[in-house]
Structure formats: C-alpha cells, structure tokens
Amino acid sequence: MMDELTLLQRIVVWILPVIFAITVHEVAHGWVAKKYGDNTAAMLGRLTLNPVKHIDMFGTIIIPGLLLISGTGFIFGWAKPVPVDARNFKNPLRDMAIVALAGPVANLLMAVAWALIARLGVAMHSQSEAVSLPLIYTGIAGISINLVLALLNLLPIPPLDGSRILTGILPRYWAWQYNRLERFGFIILLVLLYTRVLNLILEYPLYFAQQVFFSIAGL
C-alpha cells in the first residue's frame, strides 16, 4: 500500500510514527526505572516526550532516513539511551530486566494505538478520503515501526533490551561473560543487517504480528 506514495509522502507519513516510537520506548525505560527506585533519567530531564531530548542524529534521523529512501521496506532506529543506574535497584538483575522489557511493551501499546487510528481512517473512508487516507497510511507506518522496534529490541544481542532480560535470568557468572559481548553489539547488528540475516530472523514474527494488528485496524 505504501508503494503508491511518493518519497516525500512516505517521509511525511513515517516521520511522526518513527520519532514517537523511538522516544516513547526510551521514556518507558526511564519511567519504569523510576518506579523501581532509580531517578537518574528524571534528574537529567529525560522523562519527557519532547523528542529533542532523545534524538540521536545517527540513529533517529540518518539510519531511518536511509532505509526509507532505499525502499528496503524495513525501517528501524534508536534514540539516545535513557541512563539507568542499576545500583539504585533493590534487585538489580531482576529490576533491570523489567526496565528493559518496558521498552518493547511500550512499542506494542503504541502499535495498538496506531491500529485504532488506522481503524478510524477506515471508518471515515467513505466520507472523506482527504482525512481518512492520512490516518490509514500513518496508522500502518505506526504499526510497522513499533512492531519492528519491539521485535528487534527483544533479540538477545547486547545491549538490546533482550540481552538485559536474558541477563536477569542467567546465573551471575554467565551473565557477566555474556555482557562482555556488548562492545561488539553494534557491529553484530550491522553484519546481520548487511547480510540480510536480520530480515530472515524478523520476517515471519513480523508478518504474523502485522496480521494481528492490521486486523485490529480493519485492514
């Protein structure tokens, strides 16, 4: 459906869903961290939906922009990580795992919200295409980017959220050894993306998740 849009139209459709998906993901980490006793993000002014506070020029703008222009059909990005100090938690490994899980959960909740926006567009389609089509297209983009971010971040590659969740399960020694991979995490992701292995890993889970959320949207 997005193929019929011009490049400028696609940028307009995707820009808000991408920025909000990345921003709310990070705010969710900081908000849950605060609930478990760590006020670091709050003290640094990072518990805000103002995207300026979270934008990473490379991860929030350049990478999603290049993926959008290239027409790969696979868009993701990241913001400046919200600082979390696990030393403030009562149970650092467990609480850090919960904080990590908050990001993907926030993305899934946003996917629901975008699905409802798209459904509103579908309901209005017979009355005004000028209003309904932007709602539908933006809803589709919102569903897609949030599902990609949720699934991508659940991968057990340090420092992605999935690795923090796995760390909370592993014995302390193995968790320490496992997290030594963090320095290579970005390189691993780039290799997986370049070799299209990342597409293969996410293709089927993303397809089935999209079917569920598109059905909610009435598409």
Q: The tokens of 135 are what?
A: 């709602």
C-alpha dihedral sign at 65, 106, 219, 132: negative
| Mean pLDDT across 147-154 | 92
Q: Tell me the pLDDT tens digit for each residue of 1-26.
A: 566 667 677 778 888 898 889 899 99
What pLDDT, on the 0 to 100 scale, is given for residue 182?
A: 82
Catalytic entry in 26, 129, 182, 203: 26
Q: Decide if 203 is catalytic.
A: no
The count of domains in the chain is 1
What pLDDT, on the 0 to 100 scale, is given for residue 32?
A: 96
Q: The domain containing residue 133 runs over which residues?
A: 2-216
Secondary-structure breakdown of the chain: helix, strand, coil percentages, each rounded to the nearest 5: 75, 0, 25
Q: Tell me the pLDDT tens digit for each residue of 152-205.
A: 999 998 888 999 999 888 888 888 888 888 888 788 888 887 788 888 888 899
C-alpha dihedral sign at 102, 105, 107, 112: negative
Looking at residue 88, the DSSP 8-state letter turns out to be G
Task: List b or e across 20-36, with b for residues whose CB sees 16 or more CB atoms inside 10 angstroms.
Answer: bbbbbbbbbbbbbbbeb
Q: The tokens of 52 are what?
A: 């300026």
Looking at residue 196, the DSSP 8-state letter turns out to be T
Res. 63: pLDDT tops 80: no
